[in-house]
A and B are shown apart, each in its own frame.
Chain A
Amino acid sequence: QKEVEQNSGPLSVPEGAIASLNCTYSDRGSQSFFWYRQYSGKSPELIMSIYSNGDKEDGRFTAQLNKASQYVSLLIRDSQPSDSATYLCAVRGGGFKTIFGAGTRLFVKA
């Protein structure tokens, strides 16, 4: 079992729709959770971080964490073509080692 699992996609949504991205992790001791966006040929950039169970909203983005289910999600409201990218889920445990999932490719159709 991979430590951080994501559906590779591609996930295709029309412009203006909600895109829902999911991630599960195996280490119950994980404490910090991150969503990164990566455009083709570029390095990852942080979108959201979340540390406590529940929802965290930042603009069009909402991260959701359920530690009991070992599940993290990212919702993108009012999706735009510029949101088309690969979204990486990252999990950090009790130390400082951060493990990334393989990423989900998102396409937003104009």
Chain B
Amino acid sequence: DTGVSQDPRHKITKRGQNVTFRCDPISEHNRLYWYRQTLGQGPEFLTYFQNEAQLEKSRLLSDRFSAERPKGSFSTLEIQRTEQGDSAMYLCASLEGGRAATQYFGPGTRLLVL
């Protein structure tokens, strides 16, 4: 257990539905990342926060995806109008410190869109 928690751990939804995932980082960590990982691939960068500011968002991310970190603590990732191609593991990671600092990953949320 790294101290990063994610909820839910599993989500099954029907195509077209909206889903929201939550990530609670290690409490003193000011940077938070969201990644998506599909089978046989490495984690794909989605977005990154420093405190409450969303500093970067992947160009691959469609307008159906939105993320927030309202008070610089927990973060949510929402996917609107889900598609079957959204089925993946969604990983959250946090870090504190400089560019050499370690990212700690949460257990992930596995999404299946039917």
What is A's interface to B at a CB cutoff of 8 Å? 4, 6, 8, 31-32, 34, 42-46, 49, 51, 88, 90, 92, 94-103
Q: Are B99 and A43 in contact (CB under 8 A)?
A: no
Contact with A along B42-84 (1 / 0, CB 8 A): 1111001010000110000000000000000000000000000
Q: Given the complex of chains A and B, what is the CA–CA distance between A6 and B40 in angstroms?
A: 12
Q: In whole Å, how far is B27's beta carbon from the nearest beta carbon of chain A?
A: 19
Q: Are A43 and B91 in contact (CB under 8 A)?
A: yes
Q: Are B43 and A100 in contact (CB under 8 A)?
A: yes
Count of CB-CB pairs between chains A and B under 8 Å? 61
Q: Which residue of B lies closest to A43 (CB)?
A: B105
| Chain B residue contacts of A101, Cβ below 8 A | 42
| Chain B residue contacts of A96, Cβ below 8 A | 31, 48, 50, 55, 95, 99
Q: Are B100 and A32 in contact (CB under 8 A)?
A: yes
B103 located at the interface, meaning its Cβ lies under 8 Å from any Cβ of chain A in the complex: yes
Q: In whole Å, how far is A40's beta carbon from the nearest beta carbon of chain B?
A: 10
| Chain A residue contacts of B2, Cβ below 8 A | 43, 45
- The one of B40, B41, B99 in contact with A32, judged by C-beta atoms closer than 8 angstroms, is B99
